[in-house]
């Protein structure tokens, strides 16, 4: 009897395994149809509800959202560099499933940004009076004329703020959803400081000088040259291009979320319709299986 019980258990286990494997195979074969299913798809067998997760990586990687961005900024020669900075900023902040393309004909979303205006200005925000002792080798140096050595340096530390203002007209075209226009504007800021009005305290009082008490003060006065302001102006231009990229990336993220949510809803509806279609009896088209109980 014990041997028969063992054989029975083995037979039951084999039968159960075969049944489960067959059920999985039937389930997989059942949904091979006009609708493509992916790992983002879930089915509730109790309620026959179909759902796709529009925010999952698997779902978005299967349905890539392609975007083309064209930016026209500044003068010729600089426009390419500014466009590169904008596109680089966008690429670093793209959500899952979104890909930049080089040809608008292959894009689901086309964004064109044209610069309307750009301006930058500078304003003094603080002036601080500084003083710093000279090193001993300069204090008692008689090579500075009849007034003797240099004892203490007096100068002004000026802090300026540069502000860049930009304004772009933006055209948006999304395949299957029409066209739209908007405006992107903003400002970027950059602070910097420089030295001015350097004087040295001598035996004859304060005298103008070009001898700096330290390397730090020397670097501060280097920034007082007009060329440094030009560099700050260029930096503001670059920051404006990056700021534009951040705002365009936000538009892309919003459009991508809407696209994937709408796509998930449409796929779920198609899956429901396809599932309902498979529930119909081919011999009595129009009556779903189990709708009318057959005679016993």
- CA Rg value for the chain: 37
Per-residue pLDDT tens digits of the chain, which is 296 residues long: 444 344 334 334 443 343 334 433 333 333 333 333 344 545 544 444 567 888 888 999 899 999 999 999 877 656 788 999 999 999 999 998 999 999 999 999 999 999 999 999 999 999 999 999 988 777 766 566 666 778 899 999 999 999 999 999 999 999 989 999 999 999 999 999 999 999 988 878 888 888 899 999 999 999 999 999 999 999 999 999 999 999 999 999 999 999 999 999 989 888 887 765 554 443 333 333 333 343 33
User: Which alpha helices (H) appear in 63-109, and where do they start and end?
Assistant: 79-92
Identify the helix (H) or strand (E) that includes residue 184.
strand 178-202
Give residue limits of the domains in the chain: 61-264
pLDDT of residue 278: 52
Helix or strand run (H / E) with residue 275: helix 226-278
Beta 109-133 vs 98-100: how paired, if at all? unpaired
Would you say 117 and 240 are in contact if contact means Cβ atoms under 8 Å apart?
no
3 state DSSP class of 247: helix
- Residue 251: the pLDDT is 96
Q: Label the pairing between strands 152-174 and 65-72.
A: unpaired
What does pTM read for this prediction? Answer: 0.71
What per-residue confidence (pLDDT) applies to 111? 97
**Conformation bin of residue 48: beta by default, left when phi > 0, alpha when psi is -120 to 50:** left
Supply the pLDDT for residue 90: 96
Q: Measured between alpha carbons, how far is residue 69 from residues 110, 157, 172, 210 in Å?
A: 6, 44, 10, 52
Token pair of 295, please? 């005679």
For 250, residues 6+ apart whose C-beta sits below 8 A from its C-beta are none
The residues pairing with 131 across neighbouring beta strands, listed in sequence order, are 154
| DSSP at 135 | P
Distance of CA 229 to the CA centre of its chain: 30
Map tokens 């949904």 to a residue. Answer: 31
């Amino acid at each position: 009897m014990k041997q028969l019980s063992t054989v029975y258990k083995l037979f039951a286990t084999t039968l159960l395994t075969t049944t489960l494997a067959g059920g999985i195979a039937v389930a997989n074969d059942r949904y091979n149809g006009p609708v493509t299913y992916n790992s983002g798809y879930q089915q509730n067998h109790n309620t026959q509800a179909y759902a796709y997760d529009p925010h999952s990586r698997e779902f978005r990687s299967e349905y890539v959202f392609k975007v083309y961005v064209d930016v026209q900024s500044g003068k010729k020669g600089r426009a390419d560099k500014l466009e590169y900075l904008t596109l680089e900023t966008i690429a670093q902040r793209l959500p899952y499933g979104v890909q930049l393309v080089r040809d608008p004909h292959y894009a689901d979303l086309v964004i064109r940004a044209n610069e309307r205006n750009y301006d930058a200005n500078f304003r003094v925000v603080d002036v601080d009076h500084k003083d710093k002792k000279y090193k001993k080798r300069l204090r008692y140096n008689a090579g500075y004329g009849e007034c003797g050595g240099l004892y203490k340096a007096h100068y002004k530390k000026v802090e300026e703020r540069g502000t860049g203002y930009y304004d772009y007209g933006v055209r948006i075209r999304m395949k299957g959803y029409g066209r739209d226009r908007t405006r992107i504007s903003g400002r970027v800021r950059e602070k910097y400081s420089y030295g001015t009005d350097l004087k040295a305290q001598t035996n004859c009082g304060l005298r103008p000088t070009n001898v700096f008490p330290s390397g730090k003060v020397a670097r501060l006065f280097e920034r007082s040259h007009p060329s440094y302001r030009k560099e700050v102006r260029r930096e503001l231009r670059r920051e404006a291009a990056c700021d534009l990229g951040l705002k365009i990336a936000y538009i892309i993220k919003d459009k991508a979320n809407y696209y994937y949510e709408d796509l998930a809803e449409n796929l779920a509806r198609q899956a429901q319709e396809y599932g309902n279609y498979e529930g119909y009896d081919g011999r009595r088209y129009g009556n779903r299986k189990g709708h009318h109980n057959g005679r016993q």
